[in-house]
Protein backbone atom coordinates (compact mmCIF):
# COMPACT_ATOMS: atom_id res chain seq x y z
CA UNK A 1 0.00 0.00 0.00
CA UNK A 2 1.89 3.03 -1.29
CA UNK A 3 1.72 6.07 0.95
CA UNK A 4 3.53 9.28 1.79
CA UNK A 5 5.41 8.95 5.07
CA UNK A 6 6.15 11.94 7.27
CA UNK A 7 8.33 12.06 10.36
CA UNK A 8 8.00 13.01 13.11
CA UNK A 9 4.22 12.99 13.57
CA UNK A 10 4.49 15.38 16.50
CA UNK A 11 7.18 17.83 17.51
CA UNK A 12 7.32 20.20 20.46
CA UNK A 13 10.27 22.56 20.51
CA UNK A 14 11.39 25.76 22.14
CA UNK A 15 11.51 29.03 20.31
CA UNK A 16 14.82 29.52 18.56
CA UNK A 17 15.50 25.84 18.00
CA UNK A 18 15.98 24.24 14.59
CA UNK A 19 13.21 21.95 13.38
CA UNK A 20 13.56 19.42 10.57
CA UNK A 21 10.58 17.62 9.09
CA UNK A 22 11.05 14.71 6.72
CA UNK A 23 8.94 13.23 3.98
CA UNK A 24 9.24 10.05 1.96
CA UNK A 25 7.17 10.46 -1.21
CA UNK A 26 5.48 7.60 -3.01
CA UNK A 27 7.96 5.73 -5.19
CA UNK A 28 7.71 6.88 -8.80
CA UNK A 29 6.07 10.23 -8.07
CA UNK A 30 7.82 13.17 -9.68
CA UNK A 31 6.38 16.04 -7.64
CA UNK A 32 6.51 16.85 -3.93
CA UNK A 33 4.50 19.56 -2.20
CA UNK A 34 4.79 21.09 1.26
CA UNK A 35 1.64 22.61 2.76
CA UNK A 36 1.00 24.22 6.14
CA UNK A 37 -2.39 24.05 7.82
CA UNK A 38 -3.54 26.47 10.52
CA UNK A 39 -6.96 27.45 11.80
CA UNK A 40 -6.51 31.03 10.66
CA UNK A 41 -4.95 30.55 7.23
CA UNK A 42 -6.18 27.11 6.23
CA UNK A 43 -4.00 25.12 3.83
CA UNK A 44 -1.15 27.17 2.39
CA UNK A 45 1.36 26.01 -0.19
CA UNK A 46 4.89 26.54 1.05
CA UNK A 47 6.94 24.97 -1.74
CA UNK A 48 6.95 22.28 -4.37
CA UNK A 49 9.50 20.30 -6.33
CA UNK A 50 9.40 18.59 -9.71
CA UNK A 51 12.00 15.90 -10.36
CA UNK A 52 13.78 17.14 -7.19
CA UNK A 53 14.15 20.69 -8.53
CA UNK A 54 12.38 23.50 -6.66
CA UNK A 55 9.67 25.04 -8.83
CA UNK A 56 7.96 27.38 -6.44
CA UNK A 57 8.82 28.38 -2.90
CA UNK A 58 7.09 31.74 -2.92
CA UNK A 59 4.87 30.72 -0.01
CA UNK A 60 7.78 30.11 2.29
CA UNK A 61 9.37 32.69 4.63
CA UNK A 62 12.83 32.68 3.12
CA UNK A 63 14.67 33.99 6.14
CA UNK A 64 13.91 30.97 8.32
CA UNK A 65 12.47 28.20 6.15
CA UNK A 66 14.27 25.98 3.69
CA UNK A 67 13.14 22.99 1.65
CA UNK A 68 15.29 20.45 -0.12
CA UNK A 69 15.18 17.08 -1.86
CA UNK A 70 18.54 15.40 -1.30
CA UNK A 71 17.33 12.43 -3.31
CA UNK A 72 14.16 11.07 -4.85
CA UNK A 73 13.14 9.29 -1.65
CA UNK A 74 13.52 12.17 0.80
CA UNK A 75 12.21 15.71 1.08
CA UNK A 76 13.00 17.93 4.04
CA UNK A 77 11.56 21.13 5.44
CA UNK A 78 13.67 23.03 7.95
CA UNK A 79 12.84 25.96 10.17
CA UNK A 80 15.72 27.82 11.79
CA UNK A 81 15.14 29.55 14.13
CA UNK A 82 11.62 28.43 14.99
CA UNK A 83 9.03 30.86 16.34
CA UNK A 84 5.68 30.32 18.11
CA UNK A 85 3.83 31.52 14.98
CA UNK A 86 5.26 28.52 13.12
CA UNK A 87 3.04 26.22 15.18
CA UNK A 88 0.89 24.37 12.65
CA UNK A 89 0.43 21.03 10.93
CA UNK A 90 2.84 20.60 8.04
CA UNK A 91 1.79 18.26 5.25
CA UNK A 92 3.88 16.71 2.57
CA UNK A 93 2.15 15.45 -0.56
CA UNK A 94 3.46 13.72 -3.64
CA UNK A 95 2.05 13.16 -7.08
CA UNK A 96 2.81 12.00 -10.59
CA UNK A 97 2.19 15.23 -12.45
CA UNK A 98 1.84 14.59 -16.17
CA UNK A 99 0.95 17.59 -18.28
CA UNK A 100 -1.78 19.44 -16.45
CA UNK A 101 -3.08 16.69 -14.16
CA UNK A 102 -2.07 17.37 -10.56
CA UNK A 103 -3.34 14.69 -8.20
CA UNK A 104 -1.64 14.87 -4.82
CA UNK A 105 -1.44 12.17 -2.17
CA UNK A 106 -0.98 13.49 1.34
CA UNK A 107 0.99 12.23 4.29
CA UNK A 108 -0.39 12.21 7.83
CA UNK A 109 1.31 15.48 8.67
CA UNK A 110 3.73 16.74 11.30
CA UNK A 111 2.09 18.67 14.12
CA UNK A 112 4.60 21.30 15.24
CA UNK A 113 4.26 23.21 18.48
CA UNK A 114 6.79 25.96 19.21
CA UNK A 115 6.72 27.18 22.81
CA UNK B 1 -7.98 37.24 -9.46
CA UNK B 2 -7.88 33.48 -9.16
CA UNK B 3 -9.61 32.06 -6.13
CA UNK B 4 -11.57 29.14 -4.77
CA UNK B 5 -14.44 29.72 -2.35
CA UNK B 6 -16.34 27.26 -0.21
CA UNK B 7 -19.65 28.61 1.02
CA UNK B 8 -20.40 27.60 4.58
CA UNK B 9 -17.66 26.71 7.01
CA UNK B 10 -20.04 24.34 8.83
CA UNK B 11 -22.84 22.21 7.43
CA UNK B 12 -25.04 19.99 9.56
CA UNK B 13 -27.34 17.31 8.14
CA UNK B 14 -29.32 14.42 9.54
CA UNK B 15 -28.28 10.87 8.85
CA UNK B 16 -29.90 9.80 5.58
CA UNK B 17 -30.33 13.35 4.31
CA UNK B 18 -28.81 14.88 1.21
CA UNK B 19 -25.33 16.33 1.56
CA UNK B 20 -24.51 19.42 -0.50
CA UNK B 21 -21.17 21.19 -0.09
CA UNK B 22 -20.58 24.21 -2.28
CA UNK B 23 -17.46 25.24 -4.14
CA UNK B 24 -16.98 28.10 -6.59
CA UNK B 25 -13.85 29.21 -8.37
CA UNK B 26 -12.71 32.31 -10.14
CA UNK B 27 -10.51 31.86 -13.18
CA UNK B 28 -10.43 32.97 -16.79
CA UNK B 29 -9.64 29.41 -17.88
CA UNK B 30 -11.53 26.38 -16.53
CA UNK B 31 -9.27 24.76 -13.95
CA UNK B 32 -8.86 21.20 -12.82
CA UNK B 33 -11.02 20.62 -9.73
CA UNK B 34 -10.71 18.30 -6.77
CA UNK B 35 -12.49 17.42 -3.55
CA UNK B 36 -10.52 16.12 -0.58
CA UNK B 37 -11.72 14.87 2.81
CA UNK B 38 -9.84 15.18 6.09
CA UNK B 39 -10.70 13.14 9.16
CA UNK B 40 -9.44 14.30 12.58
CA UNK B 41 -5.67 14.09 12.96
CA UNK B 42 -5.32 12.67 9.46
CA UNK B 43 -4.00 13.83 6.13
CA UNK B 44 -6.19 14.68 3.17
CA UNK B 45 -7.71 11.94 1.04
CA UNK B 46 -8.85 12.47 -2.52
CA UNK B 47 -12.59 11.98 -2.99
CA UNK B 48 -12.86 12.81 -6.69
CA UNK B 49 -11.51 15.05 -9.43
CA UNK B 50 -12.57 16.70 -12.66
CA UNK B 51 -10.05 17.31 -15.43
CA UNK B 52 -11.79 16.93 -18.79
CA UNK B 53 -14.69 14.98 -20.26
CA UNK B 54 -17.89 14.14 -18.42
CA UNK B 55 -18.87 16.95 -16.11
CA UNK B 56 -20.53 14.67 -13.53
CA UNK B 57 -17.80 12.92 -11.61
CA UNK B 58 -18.29 10.04 -9.22
CA UNK B 59 -15.91 9.45 -6.36
CA UNK B 60 -15.39 7.24 -3.37
CA UNK B 61 -17.85 6.71 -0.52
CA UNK B 62 -20.86 7.54 -2.70
CA UNK B 63 -19.90 11.17 -3.35
CA UNK B 64 -20.22 12.90 -6.67
CA UNK B 65 -19.66 16.39 -8.03
CA UNK B 66 -20.72 18.26 -11.13
CA UNK B 67 -18.60 20.80 -12.96
CA UNK B 68 -20.73 23.68 -14.20
CA UNK B 69 -18.67 26.04 -16.29
CA UNK B 70 -21.42 28.65 -16.62
CA UNK B 71 -21.72 28.86 -12.84
CA UNK B 72 -17.99 28.34 -12.14
CA UNK B 73 -19.01 25.75 -9.61
CA UNK B 74 -18.05 22.25 -8.53
CA UNK B 75 -20.47 21.33 -5.74
CA UNK B 76 -20.10 18.04 -3.88
CA UNK B 77 -23.17 15.91 -3.18
CA UNK B 78 -24.15 12.64 -1.59
CA UNK B 79 -27.76 11.40 -1.66
CA UNK B 80 -27.76 9.95 1.85
CA UNK B 81 -25.43 10.97 4.65
CA UNK B 82 -23.82 8.43 6.96
CA UNK B 83 -22.39 9.12 10.39
CA UNK B 84 -18.98 8.17 9.01
CA UNK B 85 -19.14 11.11 6.58
CA UNK B 86 -18.52 13.57 9.41
CA UNK B 87 -15.23 15.24 8.51
CA UNK B 88 -13.81 18.37 6.91
CA UNK B 89 -14.07 18.69 3.16
CA UNK B 90 -11.82 20.78 0.97
CA UNK B 91 -12.33 21.91 -2.57
CA UNK B 92 -9.05 22.36 -4.45
CA UNK B 93 -8.13 23.80 -7.81
CA UNK B 94 -5.22 23.70 -10.23
CA UNK B 95 -5.36 26.91 -12.20
CA UNK B 96 -4.53 26.32 -15.86
CA UNK B 97 -3.66 29.86 -16.91
CA UNK B 98 -0.47 29.88 -14.88
CA UNK B 99 2.51 27.59 -15.00
CA UNK B 100 1.86 26.58 -11.44
CA UNK B 101 0.74 22.99 -11.03
CA UNK B 102 0.09 23.03 -7.31
CA UNK B 103 -3.32 22.78 -5.68
CA UNK B 104 -4.97 25.86 -4.23
CA UNK B 105 -7.38 24.92 -1.46
CA UNK B 106 -10.60 26.45 -0.30
CA UNK B 107 -11.09 27.22 3.37
CA UNK B 108 -12.89 23.96 4.06
CA UNK B 109 -16.38 22.92 5.19
CA UNK B 110 -16.87 20.89 8.33
CA UNK B 111 -19.71 18.41 7.88
CA UNK B 112 -21.63 17.25 10.92
CA UNK B 113 -24.04 14.34 10.65
CA UNK B 114 -26.75 14.16 13.29
CA UNK B 115 -28.30 10.81 14.23
What's the whole-number average pLDDT of chain A? 93
Question: For residues A89 and B105, what is the distance between their CA atoms, to the nearest angstrom?
Answer: 15
CA–CA distance, B78 with B100 (Å, rounded to integer) = 31
- In this complex, the residue of B103, B106, B107 whose CB is nearest that of residue A104 is B103
Chain segment B59-70, per-residue pLDDT in tens: 999 999 999 999
Neighbours of A113 (CB within 10 A): 13
Which pLDDT band holds residue A100 (cuts at 50, 70, 90)?
low
CA distance, residue A17 to nearest chain B CA (Å): 25
Dist. CA B97–CA B24, nearest whole Å: 17
Q: Which of A1, A6, A31, A43 to mutate to test the interface with B (most CBs of B within 10 A)?
A: A43
**Chain B CB within 8 Å of residue A33 CB:** yes
Nearest to B103 among A42, A102, A108 (CB): A102
**Using one digit for the tens of pLDDT, what is the confidence trace for A4-55?**
999 999 999 999 999 999 999 999 999 999 999 999 999 999 999 999 999 8
Q: Is A107 on the interface with B (CB under 8 A)?
A: yes
Q: Residues near A53 by Cβ (< 8 Å), separated by ≥ 6? A: none
Is B34–A103 a contact, with Cβ atoms under 8 angstroms apart?
yes
Coil vs helix vs strand at A62: coil
d(CA B76, CA B9): 14
DSSP A26: P
B100 to chain A: which residues are within 8 Å by CB?
55-56
Specify the DSSP class assigned to residue A63. Answer: T
Give the per-residue pLDDT at B27: 86
Tens digits of per-residue pLDDT, B97-114?
Answer: 666 778 899 999 999 999
pLDDT in tens, B74-91: 999 999 999 999 999 999
Distance, CA of B67 to CA of B32 (rounded, Å): 10
Residue A19: count of CB within 10 angstroms of its CB = 20
What is the DSSP-derived secondary structure letter of residue A87?
-
Q: How far is CA A47 from the centre of its chain?
A: 7
- The answer to whether the beta carbons of residues B65 and B77 sit under 8 Å apart is yes
- How long is chain A? 115
Predicted confidence band of residue B96 (pLDDT cuts 50, 70, 90): confident
Residues of B with CB under 8 A from a CB of A: 32, 34, 36, 41-46, 49, 51, 90, 94, 96, 100-108
Contact A33 B102 (CB under 8 A): yes
Say what the pLDDT of residue B9 is.
94
Within 10 Å of residue B7's Cβ, how many Cβ atoms?
14
The whole-chain average pLDDT of chain B stands at: 92
Amino acid sequence: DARVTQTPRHKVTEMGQEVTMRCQPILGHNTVFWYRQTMMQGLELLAYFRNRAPLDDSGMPKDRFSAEMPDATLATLKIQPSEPRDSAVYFCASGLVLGRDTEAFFGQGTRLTVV
Amino acid sequence: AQSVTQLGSHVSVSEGALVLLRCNYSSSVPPYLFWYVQYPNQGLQLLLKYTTGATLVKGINGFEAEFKKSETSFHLTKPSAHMSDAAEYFCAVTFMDTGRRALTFGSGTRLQVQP
